[in-house]
Chains A and B, each alone.
Chain A
Amino acid sequence: MSSTQEALGTVRQVGPTRAWPRLRLAPWMVSWLQVGPLALILFVLFALPTTLFLVVSFFDYDRTGIYPAFMLDNYADLVNSPATIRVYLSSMKFAVIVWAITLFVGFNVAYFLVFHVRSNTVRMVFFLLCAIPFWTSGIIRTIAWIPFLGRNGAFNQALMGAGITDAPLQFLLFSDFSVIVAYVHLFTLLMIGPIANSLAKIDPALIEAARDAGGSRWQVMVNVVIPLSKTGIVLGSVLVFTQVMGDYFVVKAMSGGQSASIVSALSTEIQAMQYPPAAANAMVLVLFTAIMVAGMMRIVDVRKELVK
């Protein structure tokens, strides 16, 4: 009896001495402290530069400098230039092709990882195999394709060595083909991640229930698995789409200068120190991408799905 009391007494004494002095904050302050860091980062690194671009995009410029003004000429020039339409069409073409391929590959890989790999360890190993290449820079992984796909590259030599072709294939490098290969290589993981995540949330009993109702593999896929993974599909699509639209390096390196991207047109302007039209160009790209993303988000309310 007394020993219990002593024991309790010691515990009571230890409590306050070991604890940090309690800092009492008003609830509103706690909320601000929680929101503060992210708000600061977003303000300094996103809101401020974007506002700066927006302001500069209305400025006037000549060969020697830029002059504060409010004119729409930069936008008018951009919209009326045939080059703009061309690079947007070209980027859209790449975006759509790459989106389709990464979606197909990504969905299948994710499906395999989630539904066919039974052991958690093996699944982890496969996920790492997908993710480890991401530890090297995208630029290096892009450039690595050049010796592989080149005229005298490993792939052509292998084809010729195996007697499949007698002359090196020309379209392999510095072509739309090589651009797409590099994009698919770089961005498929962006599809696998979100899709695997939403596939993993599907209760396996649902698939059994669909089979129980007589659904074939294909019917189960179309009627149950795909509808229930559309959050992941849309998220992955947004990631891949925005990456391709915002790309500068891959098109430049892999097309051998034959294709232009939106951002490469923009960089030409920056190099010519034409900052206001570059800013206008950037604003239009942001707006364009935002509209495309908003369109995708309309298909699925991602926010609602993520909260679940």
Chain B
Amino acid sequence: MDTRFDVELIETTKRYGTTTAVDAISLRIPRASYCCLLGPSGCGKTTTLRMIAGHEAITEGDILIQGNNVSDLTPIERGTAMMFQSYALFPHLNCLDNVAFSLKMRGVNKAERHAKAREYLALVHMQDYAMRLPSQLSGGQQQRVALARSLITRPKVLLLDEPLSALDPFLRIKVREELKRLQRELGITFIHVTHSQDEAMAMADLMVVMEDGHIRQSGPPREVFERPVSPFIARFIGGHNVLPGANGKIAVRADRCRLGVAGDGPFVSGRVTAVEYQGTMVRVAMATDPGDEASALVPDGDFYARPVEPGDPAILTWSERDVHMLAEA
């Protein structure tokens, strides 16, 4: 039995009537990794997560957790725990009882389960709020309680459904670090569903980009960012210009593009459509003459040395060695 992987999906398929939400996807998630399922809405990422969690029946294929086929097991038998997008805290129970809930289901006595729940509340720095009801907590605090509740069963795999989407941007970055720290400390696999490529790139060991019920590319974020396989991936993860090349589409990172004059290297002419100041960089968006959208991320110093305005003609240049060939898709 191969147990180098925490989770293995084998030709896993989910159909609702005639629509196929997830189409025979296969994926292996190595031990103790942080895996992000990334994709636009409706791509099947949440359905995949719910199938791993055991909240959605698998139409075809199998799911293995640490080498055991769990396709027909209940969530608790699988050793998974899920943190829901809306956190799904029980509104009638205080934080302590929320966290202790799964121990209560197992018949652990009150003193013992409360002691354990306090321990897990402390793990997420919420020990001072044990007696509060969920409605008396902020979104960020509710999330910590939800996290403690899902970790108390000591799951092999923690499944997180868009855990950061309800938080404000500042808090999101903090929680990102916190989740990553917990994952490292606990040494278990986290599978995190998100539609934000920033989030996935910042957190994932393994980034899985899905579209239309298929896995389009999976690998470490750096590999996906540097070598996107298709125009879809290049556009979706952002920071790339997808342009027509000599033999099909090419991708060039926006931060490797410059505005300037046509020289020996490749270039495309067009017109500036927008200028966005981003602090250290300035993003110049262009409509190219062949009809593509492109942008250049220019260091602020360079930009203000030769500023352009929307409507100005401009020439986008890049170097041949930054060109990445894309498979046609």
**Which residues of A come within 8 Å of B, CB atoms?**
203, 205-206, 208-216, 219, 223-224, 227-228
B104 located at the interface, meaning its Cβ lies under 8 Å from any Cβ of chain A in the complex: yes
**Between A and B, how many residue pairs show CB distances below 8 Å?**
62
Q: Which residue of B lies closest to A220 (CB)?
A: B105
B165 located at the interface, meaning its Cβ lies under 8 Å from any Cβ of chain A in the complex: no
Residues from chain B with a CB closer than 8 A to the CB of A206 are 88, 90-91
Interchain residue pairs A-B with the least CB separation, the first 8: A213-B102, A214-B76, A209-B88, A205-B88, A214-B105, A215-B105, A212-B75, A227-B92
Residues from chain B with a CB closer than 8 A to the CB of A210 are 90, 101, 105
* Chain A to chain B contacts (Cβ below 8 Å), 16 pairs: A203-B88, A205-B84, A205-B88, A206-B88, A206-B90, A209-B88, A211-B74, A211-B75, A212-B80, A212-B82, A214-B76, A214-B102, A214-B106, A223-B101, A223-B104, A224-B90
B192 located at the interface, meaning its Cβ lies under 8 Å from any Cβ of chain A in the complex: no
Interface contact B88-A214, CB-CB below 8 Å: no
Residues from chain A with a CB closer than 8 A to the CB of B106 are 214
Q: Which residue of B lies closest to A209 (CB)?
A: B88
Report Cα–Cα, A205/B81, bound state, in Å: 13
Report Cα–Cα, A153/B276, bound state, in Å: 85
Report which of A208, A216, A224, A228 forms a contact with B84, defined as CB distance below 8 A: A208
A212 and B53 contact, Cβ closer than 8 Å, known pairs A223-B101, A223-B104: yes
Interface contact B53-A219, CB-CB below 8 Å: no
Interface contact B86-A228, CB-CB below 8 Å: no
Residues from chain A with a CB closer than 8 A to the CB of B74 are 211, 214
Report Cα–Cα, A63/B55, bound state, in Å: 75
B144 located at the interface, meaning its Cβ lies under 8 Å from any Cβ of chain A in the complex: no
Q: Which residue of A lies closest to B84 (CB)?
A: A205
Residues from chain A with a CB closer than 8 A to the CB of B85 are 205
Known: A209-B149, A211-B55. 19 other contacts (CB 8 A): A203-B86, A206-B88, A206-B90, A208-B82, A208-B84, A209-B84, A209-B88, A210-B90, A210-B101, A212-B54, A212-B55, A213-B76, A213-B102, A214-B74, A214-B75, A214-B76, A214-B153, A223-B90, A223-B101
Report Cα–Cα, A258/B208, bound state, in Å: 76
Contact with A along B149-167 (1 / 0, CB 8 A): 1100100000000000000
A306 to chain B, nearest CB (A): 15
Total interface residues on B, CB under 8 Å, equals 25
Interface contact B88-A208, CB-CB below 8 Å: yes
Report which of A213, A216, A227 forms a contact with B149, defined as CB distance below 8 A: A213
Residues from chain B with a CB closer than 8 A to the CB of A212 are 53-55, 75-76, 80-82, 150
Interface contact A213-B101, CB-CB below 8 Å: yes
Report Cα–Cα, A214/B91, bound state, in Å: 18
A285 to chain B, nearest CB (A): 34
Report Cα–Cα, A209/B89, bound state, in Å: 8
B180 to chain A, nearest CB (A): 23
Report Cα–Cα, A223/B107, bound state, in Å: 13
Residues from chain A with a CB closer than 8 A to the CB of B82 are 208-209, 212
Report Cα–Cα, A208/B90, bound state, in Å: 11
Interface contact B84-A213, CB-CB below 8 Å: no
Residues from chain B with a CB closer than 8 A to the CB of A203 are 86, 88
Residues from chain B with a CB closer than 8 A to the CB of A209 are 82, 84, 88-90, 149
B2 to chain A, nearest CB (A): 27
Residues from chain B with a CB closer than 8 A to the CB of A211 are 55, 74-75
Residues from chain A with a CB closer than 8 A to the CB of B105 are 210, 213-216, 219, 223
Q: Which residue of B lies closest to A228 (CB)?
A: B92
Report which of A213, A215, A216, A228 forms a contact with B91, defined as CB distance below 8 A: A228
Report Cα–Cα, A210/B104, bound state, in Å: 11
Contact with A along B91-117 (1 / 0, CB 8 A): 110000000011011100000000000
A216 to chain B, nearest CB (A): 8
Report Cα–Cα, A12/B105, bound state, in Å: 66
A257 to chain B, nearest CB (A): 47
A213 and B153 contact, Cβ closer than 8 Å, known pairs A205-B86, A208-B55: yes
Q: Which residue of A lies closest to B161 (CB)?
A: A205
Report Cα–Cα, A209/B105, bound state, in Å: 12
Residues from chain A with a CB closer than 8 A to the CB of B104 are 223
Residues from chain B with a CB closer than 8 A to the CB of A214 are 74-76, 102, 105-106, 153
Interface residues of B in 62-90 (CB under 8 A from A): 74-76, 80-82, 84-86, 88-90
Interface residues of B in 216-254 (CB under 8 A from A): none
B149 to chain A, nearest CB (A): 7
Residues from chain A with a CB closer than 8 A to the CB of B149 are 209, 213
B136 to chain A, nearest CB (A): 14
Q: Which residue of B lies closest to A211 (CB)?
A: B75
Report Cα–Cα, A213/B107, bound state, in Å: 12
Report Cα–Cα, A209/B90, bound state, in Å: 9
Report Cα–Cα, A215/B102, bound state, in Å: 7
Report Cα–Cα, A205/B86, bound state, in Å: 8
Report Cα–Cα, A223/B101, bound state, in Å: 9
Report Cα–Cα, A224/B98, bound state, in Å: 11
Residues from chain B with a CB closer than 8 A to the CB of A215 are 101-102, 105
Report Cα–Cα, A227/B97, bound state, in Å: 14
A229 to chain B, nearest CB (A): 10
Q: Which residue of B lies closest to A213 (CB)?
A: B102
Report Cα–Cα, A280/B53, bound state, in Å: 64
Report Cα–Cα, A213/B55, bound state, in Å: 12
Residues from chain A with a CB closer than 8 A to the CB of B153 are 213-214
A210 to chain B, nearest CB (A): 7
B281 to chain A, nearest CB (A): 40
A198 to chain B, nearest CB (A): 12
Which of B80, B84, B149, B153 lies at the interface centre, i.e. has the most chain A CB atoms within 10 A of its CB? Answer: B84
